[in-house]
Homo-oligomer: A and B are copies of this chain.
C-alpha cells in the first residue's frame, strides 16, 4: 500500500449500491456469522483479532454495536484503548495490547489499538520518527507472533469518513441527547489536525501492511457495517471450521 492517498479514496458507498438490499444482506451475513462463531468456539483452534481504527466520529462504536452485538457474547470480547494509564506507561507500548490477545476460539475486538502509538502520538509530537519506525517494526513482529503461534486471523479496519461528514456528526453530538455524552470540546481541535492525521495513517498503511488494512468507506453506516460483516464472514468461511465431535 505504498503511496496511498486517502483523499483519493471514496468515503461513500459505491453509487449503484442499494441501501435496503445491502442492509438485508448484512442481516443474513450476521446470522451466518453467529453459527460460524459458535463452531469456532467449539473447535477451540482458531481465533480472530479485529482492529478498528478511525477518526473521531467515524463510527467505531456503532460498528461494534451493530455487527458484533448480535453474536454470542461468550465468544466475543471488546477492548477499548484510551489514553494509557500510569501502569501501562510503565511498560512497552504493546504490553497492554498483548494482554488482550484472543484466546483460542475467541473473537477479540479492539476499539482503537496499538496503532494509536503511531497515530495520535505522532500528530502531537509525542513520538518522533525514529521511535515510530521502531514501533512499526515491533507491531509487525507482534502481529506475526499472533498469526504464527496462535492461529489468529487479524482483520484491520480503517473507517474512512470525509472531514465534512465528521463535522456534521460532531455537531450532531451537541444537539442530540443520546449523543451528548460523546461530545468533547477537544474533538473540534483534533479535527483541525485532519491533514496531519491522514499523513500518519498513510504512513501506517505503508509500513504496517504485512497484515493488510481494509479501508472501509464509512460516510454511510449501513455500507460500513456490511463491509465489516462481509470481511469477517469471508475470513471465518476460509478457516474450514468444524465441530470437533466427541472427545476421545
Contact = CB atoms under 8 A, between A and B. Distances in A.
Contacts of A16: none
Closest 7 CB pairs of A and B: A90-B103, A141-B141, A92-B149, A92-B150, A98-B98, A90-B104, A138-B145
Given A87-B103, A95-B98, A103-B90, A148 B138 contact: yes
Among A90, A103, A104, A145, max chain B CB count under 10 A is at: A145
A6 interface: no
Interface string A101-120: 10111000000000000000
Contacts of A104: 90-91
A145 B92 contact: yes
A146 interface: yes
Nearest to A93: B149
Interface of A: 44, 87, 90-95, 98-99, 101, 103-105, 134-135, 138, 141-142, 144-146, 148-150, 152
B149 A145 contact: no
Contacts of A95: 98-99, 101
A112 B52 CA distance: 36
A95 B138 CA distance: 15
Among A98, A138, A141, A146, max chain B CB count under 10 A is at: A98
Copies per complex of this chain: 2
Given A92-B101, A94-B149, A135-B149, 10 more contacts: A44-B90, A90-B103, A91-B101, A92-B146, A92-B149, A94-B145, A95-B98, A138-B145, A138-B148, A141-B142
A104 B86 CA distance: 11
A134 B148 CA distance: 8
A107 B103 CA distance: 29
30 contacts: A44-B90, A87-B103, A90-B103, A90-B104, A90-B105, A91-B150, A92-B145, A92-B146, A92-B149, A92-B150, A92-B152, A93-B149, A94-B98, A94-B145, A94-B149, A95-B98, A95-B99, A95-B101, A98-B99, A99-B99, A135-B149, A138-B141, A138-B144, A138-B145, A138-B149, A141-B141, A141-B142, A141-B144, A141-B145, A142-B145
Contacts of A146: 92
A199 to B, nearest CB: 23
